[in-house]
Structure 1
Amino acid sequence: MLNLPTYDGTLEPYALTGDPLIPRAPKVALTRTAFAAAHVVSDPMAERAPWTGRPAVDWDNTLRFRHWLWDQGLGLAEAMDTAQRGMGVDWQTARELIERTMAEARTHPLGPRVACGAGTDHMALDHLRDEAAIIAAYETQMAAIEAAGGQVILMATRALPAIGAGADGYTRVYDRLLSQAKDPVILHWLGDMFDPALAGYWGSPDIAAASDAALAIIEANRGKVDGIKISLLDQAHEEAFRARLPEGVRLYTGDDFNYAALIEGDGTHHSHALLGAFAAIAPAAAQALEALAQDDHDTYHALLAPTVALSREIFKAPTQFYKAGIAFLAWLNGAQSHFIMPAGFQSAREITHYAQVYRLADRARVLARPDLAEKRMDQLLALHGLGKE
């Protein structure tokens, strides 16, 4: 039993229930496409100048974590914001990550789907002052992903809001990029709660106008668009948006607050998934999707409902710091031997948050090794001047 800090400033004893789900492959084909966005495991022995230098990656454990996701029937969203793109992980590292991941995916018996983030982050914003420069930057990363064999996700870029692009500018940029994509791509709408520099994406701060602009681009390029990932944490908006999508174009929910209802759907439309939360709750997510594929909605909700509170805690405001919770759970579960992140990002959240994640992960049955999780939580508490009862 541990004494855990609470948000009201007290210490509260907590004992783990010790009832984890056992990770396994799905028994039936899933009826929802599900990408888990995975993090990068640091190599703390090789890390130098973590705030200013390139990250040192523990490649063995980084890739082992991806195999763990694939083994459970999940796809992978690689080198996305969960991997700290633009927040500790540079394009050079991301490109190596993509190349290594695609090589591993080709060896996996389940033949997992892997989609990879293409952005403009190898260029400084002051070198991306017009549409031509932004297009060229995207093209560089798209070419690298296609050469590695990955599906392209056109990540939202900070560069378009930075130059004050209107809807017409977004149309010109995306039309050009989509016209030359080898295969259908996934578009990416990341709200400013995830990255404040993305405010006003699609050319307007008005959500209705932005939606119209994004849908017009999709309609004009429907043969080149697999789907769009939306991370606005707004269930009603996502439901309205997906109902307007052309036939055959998927809505990939990135709503880490409301994914259970959105993936289940309303009987007419449903969302697929591209979620950082799924890397944290993989056994529950995979087994819930298996139940949904068997039309067992009771089991679906029994498995996913407890994870929603956990995800809401991990993704609480300031939302962009959610990556720390993903890596924290990987450490508790033995997927990495330490709780060190690129750029020292583990310091982005406070001990009370980590204590609450620990409680909620236990209740969601995603602490795979309870004894190890308790030992490591105790170590983190001791580092903060707290400890066992």
Structure 2
Amino acid sequence: MRTISRTQVDATRAYIWSKDWLPYAYGGSGNPGGDCSWFAFAVAAHVQGMQANRRYGSTENCNRPGRYGATATGDAAQLGLIHVAKASDVPADALVKLGFMHGGGGYNSHVAGTFDGLNFESRGMYRNRSGHVVAASARAWNDPLFHDFWYLPAVAGAGNPDDFPLPAGWFFGPFDGPDESVSGEAPGTPAHHVAGIKRMQAKLGIPQTGKWRDARDAIAALQRTDPTLTPDGTVGPKTWALIMRLGTVTPPAPNPGGPAPMTPEQHAALQWGAPHKVRQVRDREHAEVKDGNEAWARAMLADVWNETKWDGYKSHVPGDDREGSLVFWALETHAEAVATRKLVESLQARFASGDTIQQTKAETSS
């Protein structure tokens, strides 16, 4: 079994999804769609870096009764598909698995496939839908309709766990989002996508449920530390990289009574934008983290926010009813001090010139 990179596997997965909802095209060659055999062979070609938008034959090229271990005939032979006697002979980790129903070729035969756990099919009307079907009601390779089975002797590579695990344009997000949103809750979600969510959760120090919604708040809090990100909790390549920089993943400590303990950095991130009336930048003890010494620098992010954004400080200037941040209060004090200094300097200049005559009220107010 050869190994194909996770990058190529994800690219082929995206290619399969790009054909979803296209109409069935008997004899088509992928411009943009085709029939059942075109779709099956195109996927086997694409994942191997071969041309996908061409025909490699029909279902009859894989009609080889009793020739187990053999490859397909004609142009389909170059795809390297292997024939087996029964479904149980197909390796569980094979990337491409195909099931055939042979009825003489043409409209009387059919094939559907499963690619890395994703079912795909081009068909006539079935379950109120025809054409190219991905996931949803697409038949799996071992559907009861099929009696002849083939597979591509290739498996997906493990890849670097810190690399963004989704195809270009996809992201981790809500279950009710667009097709490109991976929530970890949809039936048939690839195992490595769920593993990606769990890896994020491990980095964030929260329970590893494999569901994006359980990590949304922690992700959004971390996104607030980077002004170039929208703090909505969705995760594309940039947010993924930010999460991966949080530190080395360690197995969560047993904690039967609740969630896994958070790291000091995660505590600091979650405090971002959460005002605290008495938390001021004076002592390490005021940083509300598990270990103030370790997280002091990061906790200051939260302190800067609190002391520039919280608007609970009342003006000390008589007649001014405004409230503002601590910075507002300090600037107002500075302005008052500057005005007082100017008044004192004016009085000193007058006294130095010998002018000690008290001004009248009218003169003072002019």
| TM-score normalised over the length of structure 1 | 0.26
Higher relative contact order (CA 8 A, sep 6+): 1
Greater share of helix residues, 1 or 2?
1
* Structure of larger gyration radius: 2
| TM-score normalised over the length of structure 2 | 0.27
